[in-house]
Amino acid sequence: MGSTWTMIQMQRLKELNAATEQLNLSFPDTASRDRAFQITEHHLVEEAKSKLGKLREEKRRPSILELEERLAEVLREQGFVQVCTPTIISKTALQKMTIGEDHPLFSQVFWLDEKRCLRPMLAPNLYSLWRELIRIWSKPIRIFEIGTCYRKESQGAQHLNEFTMLNLTELGTPLEERQQRLEEMAEWVMNASGIDDYNLLTESSVVYGDTVDVMKGEVELGSGAMGPHFLDEQWGIFDPWVGIGFGLERLLMIREGTQNVQSLARSLTYLDGVRLNIK
């Protein structure tokens, strides 16, 4: 039986973003494995340095910010208005989403005090804006936000405590066009993110209505919903609508073929996907 990487070697190779094939290598003996480790690590560190060099000399900002701007540009071109709402929201707003104490998301909420928390999603603010805008603008009302959301997660490879959400919404979609509209929205976002080959998983639930998840293999990239929805009345909304939310770090993780979202997130140990403990 051959030798595989030690746990420490494996960890180091992972943080340096080694490809799956490199991680899965095996060797005739430990001496040849350790030699291979030195060579591989050296290559990966050189690659990391050159990526950081490119960041400094050319890109001048991480891919997550480039993606955010690209998406915003594409969606504005499609006639959607970008909005910017508070990251601190009220307990009442959460309750209006029926996220009460027995809801699974409730225990994931970061509370600031008894009445305020950091938003775990963008939907409550977008509902509030819809409610104001229906008095002022004709339908359909097309708005989107890209901003940080916060959830206490058991930090796996796909979950962050703070992540960048895009929520794209249209209020006043003709009933029979909702599914098609959601599919169109998913396509714009996937194209702008440079991801092809994704799947749409449509499910009907009595409680949540029809939902459409955007999947790449086993990874959920986005979740769409449509109304009329049982929550609408609480928000004073009575028109049909569609809305879809994506995590930008996940989009980037898939596009870049990275093993986890941590390296692409807000971080002090990574810069633009590059682990900083290199020299």
Q: Is 23 exposed, middle or buried (0-12, 13-18, 19+ CB in 10 A)?
A: middle
- Amino acid identity of residue 226, one-letter, is M
Select from 165, 185, 190, 252 the one that contacts ligand ATP (CB under 6 A).
165
Q: Could you count the other beta carbons within 10 Å of the beta carbon of residue 211?
A: 16
C-alpha dist (Å) from residue 200 to 142, 164, 168, 170, 183: 22, 21, 16, 19, 8
Give me the least distance between CB of 158 and ligand ATP, in Å please. 6
Give me the least distance between CB of 214 and ligand ATP, in Å please. 7
Among 113, 130, 121, 117, residue whose Cα is nearest residue 89: 117
Question: Using CB under 6 A, which residues numbered 198 to 227 contact ligand ATP?
Answer: 220-223
Site string for ligand ATP, 120-149 (x = CB under 6 A): -x----------------------------
Helix (H) or strand (E) holding 20: helix 20-23
Give yes or no for a contact between 64 and 164, defined as CB atoms under 8 angstroms apart.
yes
243 near ligand ATP, rule: CB under 6 A: no
Give me the least distance between CB of 70 and ligand ATP, in Å please. 17
Residue 47 or 256: the one with the smaller Cβ distance to ligand ATP is: 256
Site string for ligand ATP, 259-278 (x = CB under 6 A): --x-----------------
187 near ligand ATP, rule: CB under 6 A: no
Select from 33, 151, 178, 181 the one that contacts ligand ATP (CB under 6 A).
151
Give me the least distance between CB of 73 and ligand ATP, in Å please. 20
Select from 62, 124, 227, 245 the one that contacts ligand ATP (CB under 6 A).
245
C-alpha dist (Å) from residue 155 to 73, 108, 161, 269: 31, 12, 7, 16
Residue 47 or 183: the one with the smaller Cβ distance to ligand ATP is: 183
